[in-house]
């Protein structure tokens, strides 16, 4: 059965391209570039290519762009070309925010920690995790975090947020989804603790809630703190939407300004959060060492599962989070067009986050606003994901984008 037309289903709706306020921050529109790992932070620092990438997206009309991914400490990295927060990179971050602001957009910094899937070769030691766990992607076991480790990571998140603010960022996004460390505490699959940080959902929430509260205490009351969270890990026995809705309430109480419901587990269901193509051939090309290339060639389709892409594939779950809280909730997951964005506004989502569409066309927001395009022509092949680990994220399809006829 066909869906009703947008005009029939939502006769009145706020404008996607009108300015709106998120806590103490006014954005020129409600379109936010999602945190998409760029692979452009060689040496763990800000590079000119990283700045240029986001400057281009900002010039393309986005309301706010999200710099991804910055670990709150050196031991939270999966790659050597991931940012990790320290005073030495603040000048580079200041150049980054100045460049984005000059194009009229706001800048958010995504803060997180890889936890059990951090790379031992990059961090020089065993990774930390909620519980001892084997990571297939790293062929390594993490060690269970102690009370002292937990206290240190809480302090690291707060210190990183302060440095982000001082570097000129307008918001921070705490990564509590996709199987990163905060998500590892929430998920029953990675959290097997028997102390006050494991077992019941209340206990599994304790560490993420402490982090959010510490970050809120480190920043002024109206500084936006977005929390990206999972609604579903992607397999039976992982986090599901009922617990996610309860987690959303806890995040709101701890001081979150807004929530971004997402899904998937980087170390187990890596494309669940994106859906679409599984570019094994391109992934193989990006690997270093013949053994790794051979393993990816033979077992890549087993390690990286295929999930069928559908427009707005997280809408039902996102509605559950929206209805559970009183703070703003953004929508992410299969946003392809202006119609999708307007429908999200009509459904009381505060903003939308888009990723691959802006990799495909940095001017995506401007093209939608001007009427030059009605939708992205990204085909969700995910080859851009394959390229990010070595050469930096880019669209592999022919350029320039073939803009869709606004009347289609």
State the catalytic residues. Answer: 180
CA distance 89 to 214: 22
Who's near 90: CB < 8 A, 6+ residues apart?
Answer: 163, 166, 167
Task: Name the burial class of residue 339, with classes exposed (0-12), middle (13-18) and buried (19+) by CB atoms within 10 angstroms of its CB.
Answer: middle
Number of alpha carbons in the 13 Å side-chain half-sphere of residue 23: 19
CA distance 34 to 314: 15
Q: Is the dihedral of CA 181, 185, 189, 190 positive or negative?
A: positive
Whole-number Cα distances in Å, 277 to 175, 300, 379: 24, 13, 9
**Which residues is 109 bridged to in the sheet?**
67, 172
Q: Containing H/E element for 58?
A: helix 48-59
Question: Per the structure block, which two tokens stand in for 131?
Answer: 């519980």
CA distance 161 to 165: 6
CA distance 134 to 132: 7
Angle between helices 315-324 and 241-254 (to 10 degrees): 40
Place of tokens 């800000």: 46
Report the Cα–Cα distance between both ends of the chain, in Å, rounded. 20
Diameter of the chain measured on Cα atoms = 59
């Amino acid at each position: 059965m066909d869906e009703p037309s947008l005009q029939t289903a939502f006769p009145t709706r706020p404008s996607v391209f009108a300015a709106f306020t998120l806590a103490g921050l006014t954005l020129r529109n409600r379109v936010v570039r999602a945190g998409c790992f760029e692979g452009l932070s060689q040496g763990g620092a800000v590079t000119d290519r990283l700045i240029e990438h986001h400057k281009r997206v900002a010039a393309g009309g986005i309301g706010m762009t999200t710099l991804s991914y910055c670990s709150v400490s050196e031991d939270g990295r999966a790659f050597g070309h991931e940012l990790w927060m320290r005073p030495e990179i603040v000048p580079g971050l200041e150049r980054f925010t100045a460049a984005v602001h000059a194009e009229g957009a706001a800048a958010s910094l995504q803060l997180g920690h890889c936890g059990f899937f951090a790379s031992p070769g990059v961090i020089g030691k065993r990774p930390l995790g909620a519980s001892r766990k084997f990571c297939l992607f790293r062929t390594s076991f993490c060690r269970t975090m102690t009370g002292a480790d937990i206290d240190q990571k809480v302090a690291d998140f707060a210190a990183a947020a302060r440095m982000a603010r001082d570097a000129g960022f307008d918001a921070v996004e705490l990564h509590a989804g996709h199987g990163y460390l905060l998500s590892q505490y929430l998920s029953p699959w990675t959290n097997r603790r028997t102390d006050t940080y494991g077992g019941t959902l209340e206990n599994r929430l304790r560490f993420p809630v402490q982090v959010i509260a510490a970050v809120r205490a480190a920043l002024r009351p109206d500084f936006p703190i977005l929390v990206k969270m999972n609604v579903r890990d992607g397999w039976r026995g992982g986090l599901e939407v009922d617990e996610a809705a309860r987690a959303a309430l806890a995040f709101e109480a701890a001081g979150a300004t807004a929530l971004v419901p997402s899904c998937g587990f980087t170390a187990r269901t890596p494309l669940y959060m994106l859906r679409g193509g599984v570019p094994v051939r391109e992934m193989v090309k990006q690997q270093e060492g013949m053994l790794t290339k051979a393993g990816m060639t033979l077992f890549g389709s087993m390690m990286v599962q295929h999930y069928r892409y559908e427009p707005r594939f997280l809408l039902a779950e996102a509605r559950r989070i929206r209805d559970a809280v009183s703070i703003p909730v953004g929508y992410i997951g299969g946003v392809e067009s202006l119609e999708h964005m307007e429908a999200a506004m009509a459904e009381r989502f505060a903003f939308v986050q888009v990723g691959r569409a802006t990799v495909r066309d940095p001017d995506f927001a401007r093209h939608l606003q001007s009427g030059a395009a009605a939708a992205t022509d990204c085909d969700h092949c995910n080859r851009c994901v394959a390229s990010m680990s070595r050469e930096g994220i880019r669209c592999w399809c022919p350029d320039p984008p073939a803009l869709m006829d606004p009347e289609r």
